[in-house]
Chain A
Amino acid sequence: MTDILEMRPEGIFCPAGGFFVDPMRRVAKAVVTHGHADHLRRGMGELIATPETIAIADVRIGRGGYGVAAPLPYGERRRMGDATIWLAPAGHCLGSAQVVIEAEGKRAVITGDCKRDADPSCTPFDVVPCDLFVTEATFGAPVWRFPPPETQIARLMKSLRLFPDRTHIIHAYSLGKAQRLIAELRLAGWSEPMYVHRALAGICEVYQKAGIKLGILPAVEKGGASLGGAIILAPPNGADDAWRERVKDPVIVTASGWNQGGKRAGGAELPLVMSDHSDWDALTETILETGAKEVWIDHGPPAALAHWCAGHGIAARGVTR
């Protein structure tokens, strides 16, 4: 089976097709699953990805960040060397894809990052039966099982109702989580403008152009009236937040799988348990649904998932670099 894929220092390599998937070093041909920085790096000669991911790459690393773009919409097959590849939705963020590689009568699927939960801001995950399944394992332990996302949005709506006078600052990753929360809030009936930190603005525009309705998103800037009662979305690192002087006594909201259990909530007043990654149940269920006989575990601690696979007669090994 290792003839379909092999691990190289640059990342996962497909010898039959002559390309890497999510390489961490500069290579000639890179298939990129989605736009997060641990999957998308600068300096690739040819960037093969969904049109949405390429639009995101243009915002995050710029047109000069790669040589040429080769957009590959979901489901469209492309011959590369002796292999055929196509992309299937991964449900992680806009444009996120699983890479399906078919060669010598075998099929391998690389999920990149993925989730099974409903998400109004991206295409839902498709299960692709395969022989070799390369899964992520960010939350690869059975303690990580997340509540349904609607319960967490309900907590956020309740906080907005209980504290209508306080500004809600939602710290969320600028690609994926922020837009998902905006879309969920719109669905839940929040029709007011939501202020966004400028680090989010470009990505939000990509989403809006892709037809994800996020509503009116004014940029939050220093100076001006108090923002009491508004919603502000900002990245978690706290950089470039001179606008904070406009906010008194905010409700700090975070949304992460790591909030599970409540101990790791940090200073957040409202730590929502919400992840763009699969939880343990989704990871194990997906492995069973693919019917794969061999599993590689990337992006996360492999031990628990490998142990579980062994118990289910599936050969598994960690390939985290």
Chain B
Amino acid sequence: MKRLAELLGDLAQAPHANARMRQLSDYFENASDDLGWSVAWLTNALSPPRQSPTKLRKMAEERVDPELFRLSAAAIGDIGETVALIWPGAGDLPVQVVAAGDAKLADLLDQLDAVARVALIRLIAGRKIKGVKATEVHQALAARFDVDAGLIAGALIQENPPYTNLFEWLTNEGPAPNWVPPRPPSLPRLPKSPRPPFSAWKLPEGVSVSVENGRAFSDDGVELKLKVGAPDGWGFFHDGEVFNVTATPPLDDPLESHDQGQALLIRSGDTDDWSIWPAASHTIICPVTFIEIGRGVNVTLGIAVSGEVAPLIKLATPEATKVSAFARKAVIDKFGPVRQVGPGLWAELSYEAISPAPRRKIGVALKGAEINHLIWKDGPATPDLSEIT
């Protein structure tokens, strides 16, 4: 309790969030207190019965000379603080004993030192903790246990002090809780466009394309710069124009496994890397390759580009609790808040449109992408084309 009381004083005087975070982190790392009760105290989640100044004064006058109390109160100017400072006794109690509200106030005051008595009397008087934001407490606690701060915030809402389930999970003694982090309300999204931007490209029929050594040629022998295709067929740029391919593309590749017209053929910059995209369904299944746990949980989905996995897109994920648990279990490497993970988690992604992005490794950017659902299974981390729907 002494340590928490000192922390409350330090936080009230800290000049900026950085200082508060260091104080909080140091406390969460080193304190022997019950952190559940401490967090409740720090986030104004305790509501002990209030005591009026008159009642406090009468309590104190049973311990000290009333005349000395009167003279002291005149010097201090605040009854509650006078009671806290004048109360005889010293010592320390665990936070849980003080915060749980089962013990008699006078007995508690007898066994606390002045700093803790001041904190307790302020609590009893209904004074809010000032100077530290609840989100700062969540962040410091999340950093201490290496989890998502949003999860902590969600758990604190859904459980009562001392948050037993949350702390059992944090200390790896309990099962993963099924909390959903509260998210700020998002702006309403526009309905998905029925016609992605490229679908307007209606092109002459009868054009066919051949690929040799990674290069594409039209049937009259002109090399085609294929970058972006139309979702409802094969498409390509040629001399600034966009052509649609309706004939079966004579491409010697795994496209066979897909319906014609269901994919995009994309060339990454001026390289010989060709990517094949399922276009019409606007969904794709990709492995989760990186997980970032910070303010919310974000996953990076990977896609195969010439045999290597390249990052496709980073998105907020559903099932954040489970995903962060997976992140800690399947971690391969760590880059600050970002973990590279091994196989085991896939996501079905839907998107509204693809646009060319030559500066990206994969050559395209997805517009309006979101994760439909997660797929938990064992399997290789490298995407397999057969997995693409």
Contacts and interface: CB of A to CB of B under 8 A. Distances in A.
A303 to B, nearest CB: 5
A143 B72 contact: yes
A263 B81 contact: yes
A260 B9 CA distance: 11
B114 interface: yes
B78 A265 contact: no
B19 A142 contact: no
A39 interface: no
A144 B114 CA distance: 10
Interface stretch (A17-25, A78-86, A267-275): A267-275
B13 A265 contact: yes
Interface centre among A144, A262, A263 (most CB of B within 10 A): A262
Contacts of B16: 249
Interface stretch (B47-55, B82-90, B271-279): B82-90
Contacts of B75: 141, 143, 301
Given A163-B22, A271-B13, A260 B114 contact: yes
Nearest to B113: A147
Nearest to B117: A261
Contact of B86 (A142, A269, A301): A142
Is the interface on chain A under 10, 10 to 19, 20 to 34, or 35 or more residues? 20 to 34
**Secondary structure at chain A's binding surface: helix, strand, loop or mixed?**
loop
Is the interface on chain B under 10, 10 to 19, 20 to 34, or 35 or more residues? 20 to 34
A311 interface: yes
B13 A303 contact: no
Contacts of A144: 85
Interface in A184-226: none
A63 interface: no
Contact of B76 (A158, A162, A261, A268): A261
A143 B114 CA distance: 9
A148 to B, nearest CB: 10
B68 interface: yes
Interface in A241-263: 249, 260-263
B118 A262 contact: yes
A304 B85 contact: no
A143 B86 contact: yes
Given A163-B19, A261-B85, A263-B81, A304 B71 contact: yes
Interface of B: 6, 9-10, 12-16, 19, 22-23, 26, 64-65, 67-68, 71-72, 75-76, 78, 81-82, 84-86, 113-115, 118
Interface of A: 141-145, 147, 155, 158, 162-163, 249, 260-263, 265, 268-271, 301, 303-304, 307-308, 311
Lowest 4 A-B CB distances belong to which pairs? A143-B85, A304-B71, A143-B72, A141-B72
24 contacts: A141-B75, A142-B68, A142-B86, A143-B72, A143-B75, A143-B76, A143-B85, A143-B86, A147-B115, A260-B85, A261-B84, A261-B85, A261-B118, A262-B9, A262-B12, A263-B81, A268-B13, A269-B15, A269-B19, A270-B10, A301-B71, A307-B68, A307-B71, A311-B65
